[in-house]
Structure 1
Amino acid sequence: MIRTFLLFVLLVGAVAVAFALAGEPGRASVEWLGWRADTTAAAGVCAILVLAFFAVTLWRLGLWLAEAPRRAARRKAEARRRQGADALTRGFLAAAAADGSEARRLAQVASDLVEETPALVRLLAAQAAEIAGDRPAAKAAYNAMLGFPEMRLAAHRGLMQTALAQGDRADALAHAKAAYAEAKTGRWAWRALIEDRLENGDWPAALELVQSALTRKIVSPISAERARTALLAASAAGLETDPDPRRRSEAEGFALQSAKLNPGFAPGVVLAARILAASGKTGRAALLIEQAWKLAPHPALALAWRDLNGGETPKARAARFEALAQLNPEHRESRLLRAERALLLHEPAEAAAFAAPLAEAQPSARVCGLMARIAFAAGQADEARAWMARGAAAPAEADWSDLDPQGRAFAYTPTDWARLVSAFSETGELIHPRLERRERMLSELPELPPAYEPATPLLAPEDYLALDAGDAGLFDDGGPDLEPLPPEPPRPRPPAKPAPRRRLASSPRTAK
């Protein structure tokens, strides 16, 4: 209104100035109902403009009065919308705070006020009933939401959660399937389905779900690749001991695919190498282990490498150990492997040089056991027993726990494989279920005599190497006899003394 008035004043001023500048005032005459008015042209134009302005003003005033009821209705509706939006906001906040009764009250208020967004009102009502513990009401609200296409996905998720709360896994799975079929990005539905497949050990169905999730971009390519790697290894483990040759052939294919997808995934590589070696394909198995050792050395890989040839001499085995260690010489496992190689060659001093840096800080039970065997091979029985005592209280190595007491690597149950698939796909790290459950694993400490006689000469290295394979080392699988050492000159016996009293190695010495 103000803008219109200002425009009118400017227009009148412009006309007056135009006539004044022209120097010709002109004449204007108006006759109406017997009246006559004579004036200048400029005054006539100004009069017409004034009359027009008042006419427009009266017209706008009339329209404003006519629209007054409608404006009042709009203000009332706007107030209801604001109140409804406020009720919805506070209702969802109450639901997030797990205040079921307040959420239900606000949901009822919102249903009376909100008309434009009924989907939000229904969702709030369903969530409020669910939080309040009224599962029948929540289920009814979610079922009502199934009739609206835009609300169907949320309804399936709510019904799935309600079914899980009631212990009805079949109904929950049915809603997850329906949601996954309807929505391309339903990650929660995919997660529910993949967990069900893993729990049931249905590895082929899990592989299909992983591939479909990758196609829909639900999971990242790296996570999908890790999941496929672990699932293929689990499939191979389940078929490895099957009596049917065709099933064992499938196991070989699964294991090779796992090793190809991730050459550093120790379970897949060990399974593939074990199956290939059983089929006489030791060359291919050795190539897989070498590739894995370059990427991520693991003790199970070293044992699989050892088992590729069970009829070789200690010198030949030591040479193969050295060749494997040289593929990743700075890694901890390579240093341990080279220490084992030195023990096979009757070189305890060299073995100690490789193992000693690993025993400086807080050695594990495995390192303590290795140091005990090295000390015993060097004729240091007291040192060996000290390392044994230290190893009894030392922590176990997680990777070493993947070996059961029979030395079989990754002898996992289907539940363990399911956990491995989930953990490895998300983090890229192995789990260690045997360590978590504190189950028996391959012994990390050798079996040494519990007592000895101080006056008795310590065992010479060749005498120690003649012990059984369990004492000689975990990497010696009891193959052919060790190569004989060169003869040593006879040792002079000490003069005869009274026989000392026998005592246990663990008994304290008397201070002098």
Structure 2
Amino acid sequence: MIRAGLVLVLVAAVAVSILALTGDPGRASVVWLGWRADMTAAAAVLITLFASLLATVLWRTLLWVLDAPRRTERARAESRRRQANETLTRGFLAAAAGDGAEARRLALKAADLADEAPGLVRVLAAQAAEAAGDTAAAQAAYTAMLSFPDMRLAGHKGLMQLAAQRGDRATALRHAQEAYGQTRTARWAWRALLENTLEVGDWTAGLELVKGALDRKIVPPVVADRTRAALLAASAAQLENFPEPKARAQALDQAVEAAKLQPGFAPGVVMAARLLAQDGKLARAGSTIEAAWKAAPHPALFLAYRDLRTSETPRERAQRLLELAGQKPTHRESRILHVESALVTGDGPAARQAALALEAEPVTARIAGLMARVAYASGAPDEARVWMAKGMSAPHEPDWSDLDPEGRAFAYHASDWARLVATFAETGELIHPRHERRERGMSELPELPISYADSAPFLTADGADAAPFPVDEGHYGEEEPQAAPSGPAPRRRANARRRLASGPRAAK
């Protein structure tokens, strides 16, 4: 209304200005009910405009008075809505904080206020009952949600969680299946069904679930690929133990597919390389490991690649390892691989030079063992003793501990595979069951003859180097070690030779 008045005043000012500029004020006469009024044209314009403004003001005032009851009702509804939102917020916060009594009080208050949000009131009532420990009330609240199409998923999830808490796995699984069968489903239902198939070791059903979830866009393609790769590897590990040729062929196909889907999934790649090597496809096994190394270097890949060929000289093997390191030269594992390749040929100076790239690495048992071997190969047994002492108290590397010292790498139980699939699917991280259980893993400290003996003298006072000691070639399963100049021969275990490409053994 104020804007309309301003417009009228502006029009009047323009009209008066025009009349003043023309120099002729003009004449206007008004005859009404026997009355006659004579005036100038400018006065007539001003009177007309101000009369219009007054009429507009009166009309708007009348409308405002008539709209007062409705305006009061709207203000009351807005105040009620604000109170309901505040009550719901405080109720959800109380439920999240575990204050069941306060949450239930606020839920009852919200039921009286939040007429426009009955769904939120039901959710708050269920969560408040859970926070208060009233399972029966929570069950009733979640069951009531099943009657409303837009709340069925929330109802099934709540009922599934309640059933799982009381150990009723069948009921929990039923609610997950019903939720997964809805047109608009949620990822939690798929995850619950997947975890059930993993727990029972039904890898085929797990693969079907992943395919269905991808088709329905429940999970993104990257999660589907990670899940499929881990499931295929788990299935291949199971089929590999069957004596039937058909089962082993299927295990090979599944392991190769897992390596293609996720080259960074070391268990699947190592299994594929081992099965390909057993099938006589050494070149393909090598290329599979090289692709995996380029994606995500892993210690097990180095060991599998090293042991693919058994009829080569140390120099040929060292050259192969360097080619593998060249797939990702800046990675930590590639720098370690440069040191390993020098140790294969017994080149102490080259190994020490390559080890310079690892000086900034934190000291772990594996790094300490590697440095001890470098020092021993360089003819510095005292330095090797120091590194061995450091390795005794240094932390172990999880990636290294999953390698079985007496069997295959990643020789997992079905329960380990279930945990591995679930974790790798969601996060892409590789868990380490043997490390988590503190089981015995592959030794990270070498077995070197570094005890005090006449054949291993201390450094002389003038700093002269000690007499060099031979490299323990038995560490690589390659050649017999050379005899030491004097003193007892190096002690080795009978099972020091370890080959990842060998035949399967039972999981420990």
> Which residue number corresponds to residue 169 of structure 2?
169
Q: Measured at CA, do residues 5 and 237 of structure 1 come closer, stay the same or move farther in structure 2, by a change above 3 Å?
A: closer
**Displacement of 1:399 after TM fit?**
2.3
Deviations, residues 306-354 of structure 1 (Å, cap 9, x unaligned):
2222233434433433443344444443343343333343433323322
Aligned partner letter, 1:472: E
Deviations, residues 102-150 of structure 1 (Å, cap 9, x unaligned):
2322332333444443333323222222221111111112212211212
Superposed, 1:400-411 pairs within 5 Å as 400-406=400-406, 408-411=408-411
Q: Measured at CA, do residues 482 and 335 of structure 1 come closer, stay the same or move farther in structure 2, by a change above 3 Å?
A: farther
What is the aligned-residue RMSD (CA, Å)?
4.7
Superposed, 1:318-357 pairs within 5 Å as 318-357=318-357
Q: Measured at CA, do residues 402 and 63 of structure 1 come closer, stay the same or move farther in structure 2, by a change above 3 Å?
A: closer
**Displacement of 1:228 after TM fit?**
2.4
Asked whether the 8 Å contact 1:314–1:482 carries over to 2, the reply is no
CA–CA separation in structure 1 for the residues paired with 2:433 and 2:304: 20
Q: Measured at CA, do residues 2 and 179 of structure 1 come closer, stay the same or move farther in structure 2, by a change above 3 Å?
A: same
Superposed, 1:392-431 pairs within 5 Å as 392-406=392-406, 408-431=408-431
Q: Measured at CA, do residues 364 and 38 of structure 1 come closer, stay the same or move farther in structure 2, by a change above 3 Å?
A: closer
Deviations, residues 354-398 of structure 1 (Å, cap 9, x unaligned):
235435764332333333334444554434333322322223233
> Which residue number corresponds to residue 249 of structure 1?
249
**Displacement of 1:64 after TM fit?**
9.9
> Which residue number corresponds to residue 259 of structure 2?
259
**What TM-score do the two structures reach when normalised by structure 2?**
0.74
Unaligned runs of 5+ in 1: 15-20, 31-36, 43-55, 466-470, 494-512
Aligned partner letter, 1:339: V
> Which residue number corresponds to residue 230 of structure 1?
230
**Displacement of 1:159 after TM fit?**
1.6
> Secondary structure of 1:441's partner?
coil
**Displacement of 1:269 after TM fit?**
1.3
User: Is 1:193 the equivalent of 2:186?
Assistant: no
Q: Measured at CA, do residues 281 and 83 of structure 1 come closer, stay the same or move farther in structure 2, by a change above 3 Å?
A: closer
Asked whether the 8 Å contact 1:274–1:285 carries over to 2, the reply is yes
> Which residue number corresponds to residue 284 of structure 1?
284
Aligned partner letter, 1:269: V
Q: Measured at CA, do residues 146 and 286 of structure 1 come closer, stay the same or move farther in structure 2, by a change above 3 Å?
A: same
Asked whether the 8 Å contact 2:473–2:481 carries over to 1, the reply is no
CA–CA separation in structure 2 for the residues paired with 1:64 and 1:330: 77
Deviations, residues 137-189 of structure 1 (Å, cap 9, x unaligned):
11112212211212222222222222233232322222222222225351222
> Which residue number corresponds to residue 475 of structure 1?
476
> Which residue number corresponds to residue 504 of structure 1?
none
> Which residue number corresponds to residue 509 of structure 1?
none
Moved more, 399-408 or 378-387: 378-387
**Displacement of 1:251 after TM fit?**
1.2
User: Is 1:149 the equivalent of 2:128?
Assistant: no
> Which residue number corresponds to residue 307 of structure 1?
307
Larger Rg: 1
> Which residue number corresponds to residue 437 of structure 1?
437
CA–CA separation in structure 1 for the residues paired with 2:58 and 2:332: 96
**Displacement of 1:273 after TM fit?**
0.5
Q: Measured at CA, do residues 155 and 452 of structure 1 come closer, stay the same or move farther in structure 2, by a change above 3 Å?
A: closer
Unaligned runs of 5+ in 2: 10-14, 16-24, 40-55, 459-465, 487-508
Aligned partner letter, 1:130: E
Aligned partner letter, 2:397: E
Asked whether the 8 Å contact 2:242–2:248 carries over to 1, the reply is yes
Aligned partner letter, 2:382: D
CA–CA separation in structure 2 for the residues paired with 1:387 and 1:57: 96
CA–CA separation in structure 2 for the residues paired with 1:170 and 1:223: 27
Asked whether the 8 Å contact 2:126–2:142 carries over to 1, the reply is yes
> Secondary structure of 2:476's partner?
coil
CA–CA separation in structure 2 for the residues paired with 1:77 and 1:328: 66
CA–CA separation in structure 1 for the residues paired with 2:203 and 2:145: 34
Q: How many residues align?
A: 470
CA–CA separation in structure 2 for the residues paired with 1:336 and 1:3: 80
CA–CA separation in structure 2 for the residues paired with 1:62 and 1:331: 82
CA–CA separation in structure 2 for the residues paired with 1:456 and 1:6: 107
Aligned sequence identity (%)? 57
**Displacement of 1:418 after TM fit?**
3.0
CA–CA separation in structure 2 for the residues paired with 1:436 and 1:25: 106
Asked whether the 8 Å contact 1:336–1:355 carries over to 2, the reply is yes
> Secondary structure of 2:201's partner?
coil
